[in-house]
A and B are shown apart, each in its own frame.
Chain A
Amino acid sequence: MELLERYLQAVEEHLPRRGRKDMLAELRSNLESEIESQEEEIGRDLTETEVAAILEAHGMPVMVASRYGSQHFLIGPTLFPVYWYTLKRSFPLVVLAYAVVQVVGMLLASQNAGDMGHRLGAALGHFPGVALTFWGVMTLGFAAFEYGQGSLFPKMTLPKWSVRNLPSLEAAEGKRYSCANSVADLIVSVLLVVWLLAIPDHPYLLLGPGVKLLHGMPFALTPEWHVFYWQIVGLMIAMVPLKALTLLPSLRHARGWIRLAVSALGVMILVVMVQVRSLFVAVPGTSLTNLSSLEGVNAGIAFGFKIALAFAVVKFGWDLWKEISARQHRQRAHFAAVL
């Protein structure tokens, strides 16, 4: 019976502490009964191989012991959908919070463009660790809640809901809302504002290595740029809170209109750019040939902005028409449902 003792010892090691002796005594009793029963059947003592076969058929000690555990999952099937939903909805906000903290840190600490690039790389490199920590903390929190449900906390029950409170139908042809896209859009907007604000002190960010060539050129930026630059920065900054508003679930009905407001600001930026009569001016001593080519460059760029403005206005008009159509569609569906 040495094999039986060894088997029971191995099972005991993995049994839950509470009630361990009782479980083991019962297991011993049942296994001994089975061995005795087989011995009675064949009329002799079982060989070691035959006892081993019975114990092996009973199962691997760790697996046998694990079945005595009261809970076999970290997060149960009732709580899991809530856990998964919370994880999906809060992850983009973690990305946003991390991006904002990193950008503010860069602005406060960076001395030059190279340093900023280094910090950006470090921020990206640290993000997987932050994401894993967030996931781990959320999972542990839900696992603790699952474990304590009914004893430490009241058991979770689903809130009352009504089908009438569900969001109204979205226009079939419209783009579906994506929280991740909205967060990415917001982060890009914040980075663009930071980039724009950093350009006056760090022209390298706009022209790259070409900034060295600029010093030898017979042209310079027009003084009007100081006015237009701040108008553009102001409009870009105004876009940020609007894009943040699209993340609020309570404003889901107004998302289309908020996006239109953002598009309108984009059109206004182009309007500002079109108003710039000349982007570059000649420095004293510029030759006639250079003056003539400068005029061409200014005219070409201004024409380009006009075309971009025309496209932006048409796109804005198209989006506005779609939003109005979608609203009418929703109203018709609502009236049809009421009638």
Chain B
Amino acid sequence: MSYPTQTVSSSAISGEESAGGELFESLRLELRRGCLVLAVLAQLEQEHYGYTLRKSLAEAGLEIEESTLYPLLRRLETQGLLTSEWREEDRRKKRFYRLSPEGARIFRLLLAEWNRINDSITRIVQKER
């Protein structure tokens, strides 16, 4: 199987491109959704508050919108995977998050699953090539 790399005149396929773009964006978001949870859990092995967590994820190459990250943190806390506490730092009260013991257990399981999937995809793609 070969992967499509040919270049085509943009004016000729402008309609197809926009449809393909939407489809790609939808699939990309679907793919990212689970990965973001894994990345957040991984990052919260160390304590962070919302803003620094977003910055550290971005520095690691995973940009995530604030409006997505902050509600996600609350959801993970409600699910018992994170613990949080309000604390003063630099004369301002901030809410710090970190993995709960249950969160650490789930994170290890998810990471193992992620590695299995990653290995499988790598093998499949290499075999196809």
Contact = CB atoms under 8 A, between A and B. Distances in A.
Contact of A29 (B55, B67, B78, B94): B94
Contacts of A58: 65-67
Given A26-B50, A59-B65, A33 B94 contact: yes
B67 A59 contact: yes
B25 to A, nearest CB: 17
Give 5 nearest A-B pairs by CB, closest first: A59-B67, A33-B51, A67-B71, A30-B50, A64-B67
30 contacts: A19-B74, A23-B74, A25-B86, A25-B93, A25-B95, A26-B50, A26-B70, A29-B92, A29-B93, A30-B49, A30-B51, A30-B66, A30-B70, A32-B92, A33-B49, A33-B50, A33-B52, A33-B94, A34-B51, A37-B55, A58-B65, A58-B67, A59-B65, A59-B67, A63-B67, A64-B67, A67-B67, A67-B68, A68-B71, A68-B74
Interface residues of B, number: 18
Interface of A: 19, 23, 25-27, 29-34, 37, 58-59, 63-64, 67-68, 70
A136 to B, nearest CB: 30
Contacts of A64: 67
A292 to B, nearest CB: 75
A59 B70 CA distance: 12
A37 B51 CA distance: 10
Contacts of A68: 71, 74
Interface of B: 49-52, 55, 65-68, 70-71, 74, 78, 86, 92-95
A61 B71 CA distance: 13
A70 B74 CA distance: 10
B124 to A, nearest CB: 27
B68 A29 contact: no
A27 B70 contact: yes
A63 B71 CA distance: 11
A19 B75 CA distance: 12
B92 A33 contact: yes
Contacts of A34: 51, 66
A58 B65 CA distance: 7
Given A30-B50, A34-B51, A37-B51, A59 B92 contact: no
A319 to B, nearest CB: 48
A34 to B, nearest CB: 5
